[in-house]
Amino acid sequence: MKKILKKINNIDINNVNLYLFSKHKYSNDFEVFSTIFNNNQIKEDMKNILKEQIINHIDDENHEIYEYNPIFKDNQIVQRINCDEIEYLNKFINEINLNCGIYNENKLKKDHELWLIAIVIDDGIDKIISFQKIRSKILLKNKTYLLTFGNKIKKFKEPLLQLKETMDCICFLEKNKEWKDQNMYIFNSYYFEMIFGFEKKFKREIISMLENLKNNNEYDMNLLNTNQLYEKVKTNKNHLKKLYVILKNNNFNYLNEENIHKIEEKSRIKFNRPNGKIELKTNEDVRKLLNFLNDDYLEGILSEKTFITSNKRDV
């Protein structure tokens, strides 16, 4: 992060630009527009948004960066993910690199609306691309647009946006690094996942991993119907993310008779097993199973009481 901050501090203001993404309401079809500012103070404000956001993180005494975990719910921390794990990022960057048209409301395709902001810092060597999901749009009757930075309001004739004071994620692309070694830093995981379509990624990879699980000799197919499990979680985003993490961590190895009895004995939780196989009739059945597989049932060292938590950090 300090390397990003140094790059921002030294950047020429002419190398700071704002791009707008419009998106179809019911599909992934999108278009990218560039913008023109006659007032460099607006660019300076955009630069300062990134600068202050990173400084605030570095100044935090607990400023450690964690690897991306979909079920981690603490937005006070920053998470990191490799760029090659972000399906649509390359397409976004390629569209930005093309000769984008200048934004004009009349250029929006039918059923498209402004969806995403990207602040791009490019000195010809490295790139910093930060994204923010647009929260609100306000159009004044006199057709004057406003861009809001904290308490500052700048008038100009291009896009009308309210830009929050922190970006949802910041990507640092270093010229001499391979794509798999480039990183995205996540400040708001909810909007990050929304921007890059992670729900589809979760579903696609879960289906594949569950199929592979059936060929795993260490997994007892008689304990759980994995097809039933997927049908139960696919419409619940939180359950979907937790199952994704469980499969990524190979936690289905926990699913055996010994561990089931251990959890039932220590936590007083009973699984729905009328015929030996875990049945998932209710949302509560699913929740208990996912907590079990994610090792969320913990015992207090001093109190010896059983607790449930998914926000676990190594000590």
DSSP at 244: H
Q: Which of 56-70, 197-211, 275-289 is predicted with the least confidence, judged by mean pLDDT?
A: 56-70
Q: Report helix, strand or coil for 161.
A: strand
Calculate ∠ Cα 54-58-63, nearest 5°: 115
Q: Which of 7, 21, 12, 10 is nearest to 194 (CA)?
A: 21
pLDDT per residue as tens digits for the range 211-225: 988 887 777 778 999
For residues 29-50, give the mean pLDDT: 83
Higher pLDDT pick, 173 / 140: 173
Longest dimension (CA), the chain: 72
pLDDT per residue as tens digits for the range 149-170: 555 555 555 445 566 678 999 9
| Cα 148 to Cα 159: distance, rounded to the nearest angstrom | 11
Percent of the chain at pLDDT exceeding 70 = 83
- What sign does the CA torsion over 218, 252, 231, 68 have? negative
Percent of the chain at pLDDT exceeding 90 = 34
Tell me, what's the pLDDT at 315? 44
Question: Residue 249 corresponds to which tokens in the numbers above?
Answer: 């961590």
| Cα 313 to Cα 115: distance, rounded to the nearest angstrom | 34
pLDDT per residue as tens digits for the range 168-186: 999 999 988 999 899 999 9
pLDDT per residue as tens digits for the range 230-266: 999 999 988 999 999 999 988 898 888 998 998 888 7
Question: Residue 101 corresponds to which tokens in the numbers above?
Answer: 């048209």
pLDDT per residue as tens digits for the range 290-314: 988 888 766 665 556 665 665 555 5
